[in-house]
Structure 1
Amino acid sequence: MDSGHEQLFHDVAKALVANPGASTSGIAETAGVSRATLHRVFGDREALVESVYGWLLDLCDEVFDAAGIDSGEIGPALERLIEDCYPLAQSYWLLTATPRLEREPEIGDRLRKQDERLENYFARGQEEGYFRTDLTPKWMSYSFGGQVMSAWYLVEDGYAGELEVPRLIREATFGGFTAKGN
């Protein structure tokens, strides 16, 4: 995807996150493009939402691949995942705001595969002694996603900066929520 299309997808995703129920005209206005441009690139509004969500899933796959969650060393993969996960919060939020997306066969399949990849990563980390074994891989996967979403809300609401996100997620992941020694 060329940088112009990449920017368009980014701007449209931001517009959808800001107002998931916005009309195509509203999305175009927020994204700073014409309605005709959106129609030419995406077609109707439903196709627009599905295309943008598919793009966000592509970004998630890229983050997972770059982190090496399928076969890389557990520790460095977790560090990379923590460093690069913040942009993925948009896809979590858009899914929450548009639950019908999960019911689209292609999107639903991709979501399940991504969930499986992350769960398999945590299971592999347990087998290698890196992660606690008293928590299920599914719980760790959901918990990690929840931390990413919480960090996104914190930034959106003005309580933290984007640069602080990796530290916050790292501290919650490695240290938990109890004081040291408790």
Structure 2
Amino acid sequence: MDSGQEKLFHDVAKALVANPGASTSGIAETAGVSRATLHRVFGDREALVESVYGWLLDRCDQVFDEAGIDAGEIEPALDRLIEDCYPLAQSYWLLTATPSLERSGDIRERLLKQDGRLERFFARGQAEGVFRPDLSPKWMSYSFGGQVISAWYLVEGGYAGELEVPRLIREATFGGLTAREK
């Protein structure tokens, strides 16, 4: 995908975050492009939403891959995940907090697969004694996602700077999910 397409997908995703129920005209206006451009690239609104969801899932998969959550040492992978996840906060919100947007079977399946990857990461960390044994991997996965989204809200509201985000997520994660000495 070239940088122009990347920017278009990013701008359309931002428009959907701002108003998940927006019409194609509203999305085009918010994204700063013409309806004709959206129609040429995506076709109809359903295809637009499907394409943007697919692009967002691709970006999340890339972050998971680069962090190395499927194999290797847990703590370095968690550090990489924390460092790299903030740019996806807005995307993650759109993927998880907007059930009103149409999701095809493929998108739903990919989202569940991605959730499973993160849950397996936390389960592996539990087995290695890094994460608390009294919390389910699903809870830890959702909690981590909630922290990422919360950091985005803080930055958007002017309550924190982007450079603070990794520290905030790290403190919340290590303070709440990691195993503690008793």
- Is the pair's TM-score, using the shorter chain for normalization, greater than 0.5? yes
The alignment status of 1:113 with 2:117, answered yes or no, reads: no
What pairs up with 1:1-182 in 2 under 5 angstroms?
1-96=1-96, 98-101=98-101, 103-176=103-176
Measured at CA, do residues 38 and 103 of structure 1 come closer, stay the same or move farther in structure 2, by a change above 3 Å?
closer
Aligned-pair CA distance for 1:70: 0.3
| 2-structure distance, mates of 1:43, 1:98 | 22
Q: 1:96–1:141: structure 2 CA closer, same or farther, 3 Å change rule?
A: closer
The TM-score with structure 1 as length reference comes to 0.91
TM-score for the superposition, normalised by structure 2: 0.91
Q: Deviations over 1:116-173 (max 9, x none)?
A: 1001111111111111111111111111011011111111222112221111100101
CA contact (8 A) 1:74 1:125 kept: yes
* Residue 102 (structure 1) shift: 7.0
The 8 Å contact of residues 21 and 101 in structure 2, kept in 1 or not, is answered as no
In structure 2, what is the Cα distance between the partners aligned to 1:3 and 1:103?
A: 26
Q: Offset of 1:87 from its aligned partner? A: 2.3
- Inter-partner Cα distance in structure 1 for 2:165 and 2:66: 19
The answer to whether the 8 Å contact 2:49/2:102 transfers is no
**How far does the alpha carbon of each residue in 1:83-108 deviate from its partner, in whole angstroms, 9 at most, with x for none?**
11112222332235531557520011
Per mean C-alpha deviation after superposition, the further-off stretch among 100-109 and 123-132 is 100-109
Q: CA deviation at 1:55?
A: 0.5
Superposition RMSD in Å = 1.8
| Uncovered stretches (5+) of structure 1, i.e. residues with no partner | 178-182
Aligned pairs, how many? 178
**Larger RCO (CA within 8 A; separation ≥ 6):** 2
Gaps of 5+ in 2: 178-182
Q: Distance in 2 between the 1:2 and 1:32 partners?
A: 18
Quote the Cα distance in structure 1 between the aligned partners of 2:98 and 2:161: 26
Q: CA deviation at 1:115?
A: 0.8
Percent of pairs with identical residues: 86
Query: Separation in 2 of the partners of 1:86 and 1:60?
Result: 11
Amino acid at match of 2:167: R
Per-residue deviation, 1:72: 2.2
Give 2:156's aligned amino acid. E
